[in-house]
Amino acid sequence: MDSRDTSPLRPLSTLHLKCPGDHVFRFCYCLHLIIIMSLLGMHQEASVHYRRYVVKCIPYHLTLQSFPHGKQHRDEMLHTFSSLLSLYSWHLLLNPLRDLRDKDRDLNYVQDYKPSKGSVKHLRVLLYGPVGAGKSSFINSVSSILRGRMAIPAAVSAATSEISFTNKYETHTIEREDGDPDGFYPLVLSDIMGLEDGTNKGVCTEDIKLTMMGHVMDKYLFNSTSPLLSGCAGYEKDPSANDICHILVCVISANSAETKPSLPVLTGIPQVCILTHIDEACGITESNLKDVYHSKYIKRKMEEMSSSVGFPMNCIFPVKNYNEETKLNDDIDTLILDALRYIINFGDDFIKKL
């Protein structure tokens, strides 16, 4: 095999094997490397290169003379290799759905962001979605990344429950750690009560719409049986451009049995979808978050959300929230910052139209 065509596999091309089964040995070697790298969470590009070698290159060299025991030996080994490779590759895409962005570039972009209209002091992001999807955890994760340390501005329940832990309208600002005179990022993350199945459960659709339009005051206690009415306590009669929401973020768990939740129809402002718990939902991403866009399972979940709810694929972002970690992790940061950059871009486009 020409080493000029296999530079990522140069360590293999330098194996000067003289026995009749040298290509068989290489095939076994590559196959084991694929599995080991996946289990150990090694770099995705290396894993992909070895995968391509096994899939495209090796079979051409598995001729009869490579097997000292003849045709039956060859057929048995090919069947074994094919079964192992199919089992492993069943969950993997050789070509990623997307390329991972540069974490530091996205972080600098978010840190430098200012609303395009001077009259708007901050971009307001409204998060909504089913109970337990990770809305509050996403807020905490964003805050942690931007502050450069673990932060938990939004209360999160440690127990799994079908009842919303958040029951008030909470607006969260993020304090700067770089000594900026403004003190806070021009970004407000708003959290509301979760959606629940059944009558008189979870946040009312009308309350989500009122929150979008800026009519719900901070700390308002949501009532599952009755939406907020004009003139009642907690109702903002004349919201400003800073009170209205500039982008909606639907937070859905990839670990749910079904990715077609009962979501209300909300229109008028841009929307994106955050797909959480990807580490719990898929073994590929559990072992290595860098392989998120190589995962067939995550791709299928994104496609389900796109077809059932109507989000374009380029508006769906798989992430892992900080949960049990006590230190920041580059792989977690990369996915969240990528999503946050698009949230800011789409939200600022809306601000320009105000």
Whether residue 172 is found in the same domain as residue 68: no
User: Of the residues 67, 89, 111, which one is the last residue of a structural domain?
Assistant: 89
- Residue 300 within a domain: yes
The CA distance from 213 to 3, in Å, is 62
The answer as to whether 97 is a domain residue is no
Give the residue among 300, 299, 302, 296 at the shortest CA–CA distance from 274: 302
Residues 188 and 334 in one domain: yes
Portion of the chain with pLDDT greater than 90, in percent:
54
When pLDDT is cut at 50, 70 and 90, the band that residue 308 belongs to is confident
d(CA 139, CA 147): 12
Q: Is the pLDDT of residue 179 over 60?
A: yes
Residues 38 and 137 in one domain: no
pLDDT at position 321 is 97
176 and 302 assigned to the same domain:
yes
The answer on 49 and 128 residing in a single domain is no
Among the listed ranges 77-86, 266-275, 329-338, which one has the minimum average pLDDT value? 77-86
Taking phi first (over 0 means left), then psi (-120 to 50 degrees means alpha), and beta for anything else, what does residue 229 get? beta
Which pLDDT value is given to residue 83?
A: 57
CA nearest neighbour of 307 among 258, 251, 255? 258
pTM equals: 0.75
- Same-domain pairing of 168 and 257: yes
- Cα of 329 vs its chain's centroid, Å: 14
With cut-offs at 50, 70 and 90, classify the pLDDT of residue 197: confident
Q: Tell me which DSSP letter residue 295 carries.
A: B
How confident is the model at residue 278, as a pLDDT?
95
- What are 9-49's pLDDT values in tens digits? 333 333 343 444 445 555 565 555 555 555 444 444 444 54
Mean pLDDT for 295-301 is 91
| CATH code of 121's domain | 3.40.50.300
Domain boundary among 65, 89, 113: 89
For tokens 């929401």, name the residue: 245
Coil, strand or helix at 175: strand
126: closest CA among 223, 193, 202, 200? 193
Structural domain including 36 reads: 3-89
Q: If DSSP codes are grouped into helix, strand and coil, which group holds residue 13?
A: helix
Q: Which two tokens stand for residue 192?
A: 């509301």
Say what the pLDDT of residue 218 is: 96
Give yes or no for residue 215 having a pLDDT over 60: yes
Work out the pLDDT band at 352, boundaries 50, 70, 90.
very high
Domain count, the chain: 2
Cβ–Cβ under 8 Å, residues 96 and 294: yes
For the ranges 49-53, 178-182, 306-310, 311-315, which has the lowest average pLDDT?
A: 49-53
Q: What is the pLDDT of residue 3?
A: 36
